[in-house]
């Protein structure tokens, strides 16, 4: 089906996305201090009943308002209604952190319109920060505008990266990159929640982020927020980034070429 988009339509979608994300936050935060059993999707890739409960409340909430939109969600896969609007959902980004009580996890909901990332909502937890953006309308945390840092020297920068669950060639390359960037910057952090990492670039807490092997739901919301905050987003080889790519580089813009140069040595 074909939908028509006005500024009001994107505002409406953002409202539904925020409400859905906050319902999931309630589910997650009220379970945070309980003993949660986890299952293994892979050797170290965990899923809990809370990931599933959060996803189900998000999807019901979207369907109540937009029954014909398409959905791609981490735990339940794709529900393709052939709409021009695709909701891409990570109900709990940073499940491993959540299970261990490590304080960096998030709900992430991105909306693509005709394939273009257009609306993003990330709620960072357990210290709640609600990040929102609509393409062309700026990025916000808790309603206040945010922008990337102005650091232009690599040696002055603080970076963040992540390591996926597959320990193959990309993982090895990233170990080398981690070492190299750690040597040439003020440090590289590794939080374990990609949506949070990306929002931290957006609000200038870190100056750049890269990672291999993300899934679409890890980056779909964050890239809109980061782009609207002034970030530059490409593949790690400098090419145009899509949420279906297996590599991403996000920076404050000023450090982008310098980071690409560094990464090129190891790709
Ligand atoms: C993971 C986190 C982690 C990243 C992994 C993701 P999950 O998401 O974002 O930081 O390194 O690649 O899969 O499994 O906790 O939703
Ligand atoms: Ca994730
Ligand atoms: Ca997840």
Q: How far apart are CA 68 and CA 86, in angstroms?
A: 10
The position carrying tokens 């991105």 is 110
pLDDT of the residue at 2: 42
Q: Please report which residue ranges of the chain form alpha helices under DSSP H.
A: 7-31, 49-65, 95-100, 169-184, 194-202, 216-228, 256-264
**Is the separation of the CB atoms in 170 and 247 below 8 Å?**
yes
Of 112, 145, 178, the last residue of a domain is 145
Of 145, 176, 204, the last residue of a domain is 145
Q: Report yes or no on 85 lying in a domain.
A: yes
Residue 222 near ligand 1, beta carbon < 6 Å: no
Range of the domain at 105: 9-145
Of 126, 145, 164, the last residue of a domain is 145
Residue 214 near ligand 1, beta carbon < 6 Å: yes
Going by the DSSP 8-state scheme, the letter that residue 155 receives in this structure is G
Q: Which CATH number fits the domain that encloses residue 104?
A: 3.30.540.10
Q: Report yes or no on 82 lying in a domain.
A: yes
pLDDT of the residue at 4: 54
The reply to whether 72 and 186 lie within a common domain is no
Q: Report yes or no on 252 lying in a domain.
A: yes
Ligand 2 center from residue 94 Cα (angstroms): 6
Q: For the whole model, what pTM was predicted? A: 0.96
Q: Which CATH number fits the domain that encloses residue 201?
A: 3.40.190.80
Q: Report yes or no on 4 lying in a domain.
A: no
Ligand 1, closest atom to CA 193?
10
pLDDT of the residue at 3: 47
Residue 94 near ligand 1, beta carbon < 6 Å: yes
The reply to whether 34 and 57 lie within a common domain is yes
Q: Report yes or no on 3 lying in a domain.
A: no
Ligand 1, closest atom to CA 51?
16
Number of domains in the chain: 2
**Is the separation of the CB atoms in 42 and 165 below 8 Å?**
yes
Please, what is the average pLDDT of the chain? 95
Q: How far apart are CA 89 and CA 220, in angstroms?
A: 8
The reply to whether 116 and 176 lie within a common domain is no
Q: Report yes or no on 116 lying in a domain.
A: yes
Q: Report yes or no on 2 lying in a domain.
A: no
Residue 50 near ligand 1, beta carbon < 6 Å: no
Interstrand relation of 46-48 and 38-40 (parallel, antiparallel or unpaired): antiparallel
Q: How far apart are CA 84 and CA 266, in angstroms?
A: 38
pLDDT of the residue at 1: 40
pLDDT of the residue at 246: 95
pLDDT of the residue at 98: 96
Q: 3-state DSSP call for residue 76? A: coil
Which residues make Cβ contacts (< 8 Å) with residue 173, sequence separation at least 6?
Answer: 212, 266, 267
Ligand 1 center from residue 191 Cα (angstroms): 10
Q: Which burial class, exposed, middle or buried, applies to 96 when counting CB atoms under 10 A from its CB (0-12, 13-18, 19+)? A: middle
Which residues of the chain are under the pLDDT cut of 70?
Answer: 1-4
The reply to whether 132 and 174 lie within a common domain is no
């Amino acid at each position: 089906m074909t939908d028509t988009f006005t500024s009001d339509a994107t505002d409406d979608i953002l409202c539904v996305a925020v409400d859905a994300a906050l319902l999931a936050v309630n589910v997650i935060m009220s379970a945070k201090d309980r003993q949660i059993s986890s299952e293994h999707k892979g050797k170290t890739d965990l899923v809990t009943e809370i990931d599933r409960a959060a996803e189900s409340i998000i999807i019901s909430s979207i369907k109540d308002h937009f029954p014909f939109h398409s959905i791609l969600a981490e735990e339940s896969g794709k529900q393709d209604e052939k709409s021009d609007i695709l909701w891409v959902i990570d109900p709990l980004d940073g499940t491993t952190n959540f299970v261990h009580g490590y304080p960096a996890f998030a709900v992430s909901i991105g909306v693509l319109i005709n394939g273009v990332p257009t609306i993003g909502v990330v709620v960072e937890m357990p210290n709640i920060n609600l990040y929102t953006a609509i393409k062309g309308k700026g990025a916000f945390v808790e309603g206040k505008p945010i922008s990337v840092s102005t650091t232009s020297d690599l040696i002055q920068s603080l970076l963040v990266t992540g390591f996926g669950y597959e320990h193959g060639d990309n993982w090895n390359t990233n170990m080398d990159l981690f070492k190299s960037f750690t040597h040439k910057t003020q440090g590289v952090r590794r939080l374990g929640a990609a949506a949070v990492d990306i929002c931290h670039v957006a609000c200038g807490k870190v100056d750049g982020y890269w990672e291999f092997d993300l899934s679409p739901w890890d980056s779909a919301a964050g890239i809109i927020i980061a782009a609207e905050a002034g970030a530059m987003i490409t593949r790690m080889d400098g090419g145009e980034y899509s949420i279906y790519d297996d590599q991403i580089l996000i920076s404050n813009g000023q450090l982008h070429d310098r980071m690409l140069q560094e990464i090129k040595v190891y790709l």
